[in-house]
Amino acid sequence: MYPFKFDSIFLDKIWGGQALREYKANIPEGLIGESWDISTHPVGVSSIKNGYMKGQDFKKLLLDKKNDLVGRIECGNKFPLLVKSSALLITYLFKCTQMMCMP
């Protein structure tokens, strides 16, 4: 195996916008509130975007190579983690950082 890169799954949210453009490339137009970067969630399953497994569904890869990817933990047929970026969290952290830097 090799290090995987994944296609992000972008979700519209009522509180979304374009704040993620500062941190991620290829943000589509719309009220993008979250970017799911690694997921086997039914709402959005990641696909591999590099190497010889390019285009393969991550959920299928997990079923085929579970022990190689997550070891022997019991997680059924699900990846035990959802990696995502949130526009709301990024905006909040930015504002908190600005407040800490104020004289």
Rounded distance between C-alpha atoms, residue 14 and residue 79, angstroms: 27
Rounded distance between C-alpha atoms, residue 9 and residue 75, angstroms: 22
**Higher pLDDT, residue 24 or 75:** 24
Domain ranges across the chain: 9-101
Q: Which residues pair with 45 in a beta bridge?
A: 40
Would the CA dihedral through 2, 37, 59, 80 be positive or negative?
positive
For 16-66, the pLDDT digits (tens) are: 888 888 878 888 999 888 888 888 888 889 999 999 999 999 888 888 887
Q: For the whole prediction, is pTM greater than 0.75?
A: no
Q: What is the pLDDT of residue 90?
A: 52
Residue 9's nearest CA partner among 59, 68, 80, 61 is: 59
Average pLDDT over residues 76-84: 64
Would the CA dihedral through 16, 21, 23, 26 be positive or negative?
positive
CATH class for the domain made up of 9-101? mainly beta
* Confidence bin at 100 (pLDDT 50/70/90): very low
Q: What is the pLDDT of residue 98?
A: 42
* Confidence bin at 77 (pLDDT 50/70/90): low
